[in-house]
Amino acid sequence: MALGLYFAAPKNLKNFVLMITGLLFYAWGEPKYVLILMISCAIDYAAGLLINRFDSRPKIRTLFLIVSVTMNLGLLSVFKYGSFAIQSLNGFFGLSLTDPHLPLPVGISFFTFQSMSYTIDLYRRKIGVQKNPVSFCAYVTMFPQIVAGPIVRYSDVAEELDSKKVSLDGISEGIALFVKGLSKKVLLANSVGELWAVVKAYDYSKMSAAIAWVGIIAFAFQIYFDFSGYSDMAVGLGRMMGFHFPQNFDHPYESHSVSEFWRRWHITLGSWFRSYVYIPLGGNRKGKFRTLCNLMITWALTGLWHGADWNFVLWGLYFGLLICAEKLWLGEALKKLPGILSAAYTLIAVLFGWVLFETDSLSECLSYIKAMLGLTGNAGDRNDLYLLGSYGLVLAACLLLSTSVFDRVLTKLKSVRPNTIAVSVPFAELAALLLCTIYLIDSTYNPFLYFRF
């Protein structure tokens, strides 16, 4: 319906339709928190006008930037980190502060970062001011990616906000991307997620090593196909509407180092932290020690961005330490290894990281890792074999489709038999769409993992 209204609207009203549909889409899931979204828009729109107005007065420009960043981070802190801060203070200092238990507005981490990047880039004079409040709100509230990314910077869509071109080619490309993402989410992430749900319910102290590894591999596939699937759907919807959103994933499980993995996973978030945290801290320009400190600060904040819990902070620090090690010596050592060994190291390191990310406490994390290391004394039983057999086909499909092999084969076929592929692809997309629809009607298991961030 939203797309129909957008396509039917005259060119000069498309941004208005985009803004209204974005607010309605957000209100569908979070009606009382639409006000937070509107406040975020108002803060950064006004700050942008004032930064532009006082372009020749550095101190005043800086003041309005500080106001924008402080108010955005203030909203994020109150609603996402308020309970975490109160619980931590109560635990560390024996206090009895009252926790209001404010519900987390869906996607607040995404839209605050997106909106805030506008004022920062404007302050840096990398973009021009947006004087039209409707166009600015349309940028922040775009319904395809407002709740789970990718994080779209204003510079990514500035020209298209003012002069977007909706074309049949764009709609065709967008549909293909949307169906691809929906299939990843519904047919792969949901299916393999059911396996992880079963394993997660086990008693970790009695779990066999085989099931522990299969379980965390299942979660690794679930979170990849869930998030990359949503990103593909968002990019596809944007393409239909004349926008080119940035790519958010690039086959991360093919990486040969942890540093490479994070250049391929959630690309827009990594780019955001690099541009607005790591480089302003000094990046790698102030010596090795400062570089390592800057990396650790950036990764601690990256972990905290993902969730208001010490597990997430430790998860960020874990990857920060691995990337620091690769900066110091490990990266060069990995380059000398056969590709299969460096890829195996990376995958194992990432899987241990996912344990820390997904378990509910540090004690659960340690128990699960003990099971992975075979320290529970459980060699497995028939139930384990049954579980592996039941989900073997899904795991094999996830393994294949998480790599670039399928894409390379399809590209090759397009060059060899272009006419056959051109005719077959639409039918394949329709079949995938029908399968997804049947699955959604029949299944009650349909979580979006990154909605909680």
Distance from C-alpha of 132 to C-alpha of 114, rounded to nearest angstrom: 18
Closest CA to 216 of 346, 350, 319: 350
Closest CA to 211 of 24, 408, 386: 386
Q: Enumerate residues 6+ apart whose C-beta is below 8 A from 345.
A: 257, 334, 337
Q: Enumerate residues 6+ apart whose C-beta is below 8 A from 227.
A: 148, 248, 249, 266, 449, 450
State both tokens at 289.
């020690």
401-410: long-range contacts, CB 8 A cutoff, minimum separation 24: 401/184, 401/188, 401/225, 402/221, 402/224, 402/225, 402/251, 402/253, 403/251, 403/253, 403/254, 404/251, 404/254
Determine the angle formed by the axes of helices 382-401 and 405-416, rounding to 10 degrees.
40
* DSSP class of 144: T
Distance from C-alpha of 184 to C-alpha of 249, rounded to nearest angstrom: 13
The total of other beta-carbon atoms located within 10 Å of residue 35's CB is 11
Instruction: Outline where 142-256 has alpha helix (H).
Output: 154-163, 168-183, 190-200, 209-240
Q: Enumerate residues 6+ apart whose C-beta is below 8 A from 119.
A: 44, 47, 48, 51, 64, 65, 68, 69
Distance from C-alpha of 373 to C-alpha of 208, rounded to nearest angstrom: 9
**Where are the strands (E) in 287-433, listed by range?**
none
Distance from C-alpha of 201 to C-alpha of 387, rounded to nearest angstrom: 13
Encoded amino acid at 323, one letter: I
**Where are the strands (E) in 355-416, listed by range?**
none
Q: Tell me the catalytic residues.
A: 306
